[in-house]
């Protein structure tokens, strides 16, 4: 049996003034209420804003909740279709800071991109991008909540203390992630979008996530296609790596 590839671990600090990781239960009435913690899917999306290629996919291993969980409710004026406005209340997290650990694996559902499976070059681009604060804007759950990332080293992640050191907290069953068709591991998951839910627990301020396929609840939402890529329609990792200035390439 072929051994599954797994990259080295990467670490970054994520912070901002406000965050809104919306609990889907609250969406129906127009008023949004945040989860107390970021979801796996939100952290994965933020990680992809730092650097993403279709030849790989990210897995979030764990997150440390550094600051005390605090919320703030704001009245938001929202436009209606008839030209009038309505007032909704959104409840945000305030003064958030998280430390994230992740790694990547090759996307075996895209074998046509196997020429892009160069671990070292992807690794160096990821490290440099984190050192620069990411390649794209970072949003903490929603566009009005601007976030920032900073690269961390392993020892910084492990040594960091949190407000919840010495405490154990259960958040119950929460939305975990989506499984998109190009990330499906099972035959019956192909060409459909699946939402995953699981029990989330925090120990000493750290949440260790299970993989999407290990979640307790899977719900098939609908049929879902995905974009095709080829070597001719995307920039290879070699080309991207060669654009990095020599003095700024991270070597560890």
Residue ranges of domains in the chain, CATH in brackets: 10-239 (3.30.70.2660)
**So what's the pLDDT on residue 1?**
44
145: nearest Cα among 3, 20, 28: 20
**So what's the pLDDT on residue 114?**
82
- Tokens coding 201: 């627990």
Q: Alpha helix locations (H) across the chain?
A: 40-50, 119-131, 154-159, 237-242
Could you tell me the pTM of the whole model? 0.88
CA-to-CA dists, residue 213 to 48, 183, 216, angstroms: 20, 10, 9
Number of helices (H), then strands (E), belonging to the chain: the values are 4, 10
**So what's the pLDDT on residue 90?**
86
Block means of pLDDT (10 residues each) for the chain, 252 residues, are 80 96 77 92 95 92 97 82 78 96 91 85 92 90 93 95 96 92 71 91 97 91 72 73 64 48
User: DSSP for 55-101?
Assistant: TEEEEEEEEEE-S---EEEEEEEEE-TTS-EEEEEEEEEEEEEEEEE
């Amino acid at each position: 049996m072929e051994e599954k590839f797994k990259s080295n671990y990467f670490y970054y600090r994520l912070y901002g003034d406000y965050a809104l990781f919306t609990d889907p239960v609250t969406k129906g009435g127009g008023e949004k209420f945040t989860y107390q913690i970021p979801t796996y899917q939100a952290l994965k999306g933020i990680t992809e804003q730092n650097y993403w290629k279709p030849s790989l996919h990210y897995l979030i291993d764990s997150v440390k909740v550094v600051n005390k969980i605090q919320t703030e409710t704001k009245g938001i004026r929202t436009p209606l279709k008839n030209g009038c406005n309505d007032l909704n209340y959104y409840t945000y997290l305030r003064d958030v800071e998280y430390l994230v650990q992740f790694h990547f694996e090759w996307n075996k559902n895209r074998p046509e991109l196997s020429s892009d499976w160069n671990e070292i070059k992807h690794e160096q681009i990821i490290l440099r991008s984190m050192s620069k604060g990411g390649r794209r804007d970072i949003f903490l759950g929603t566009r009005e909540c601007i976030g920032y990332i900073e690269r961390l080293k392993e020892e910084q992640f492990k040594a960091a203390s949190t407000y919840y050191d010495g405490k154990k907290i259960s958040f119950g069953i929460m939305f975990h992630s989506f499984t998109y068709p190009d990330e499906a591991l099972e035959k019956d998951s192909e060409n459909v979008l699946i939402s995953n839910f699981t029990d989330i627990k925090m120990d000493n301020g750290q949440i260790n996530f299970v993989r999407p396929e290990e979640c307790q609840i899977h719900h098939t939402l609908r049929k879902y296609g995905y974009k095709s890529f080829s070597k001719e329609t995307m920039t290879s990792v070699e080309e991207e790596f060669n654009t990095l200035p020599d003095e700024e390439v991270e070597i560890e």
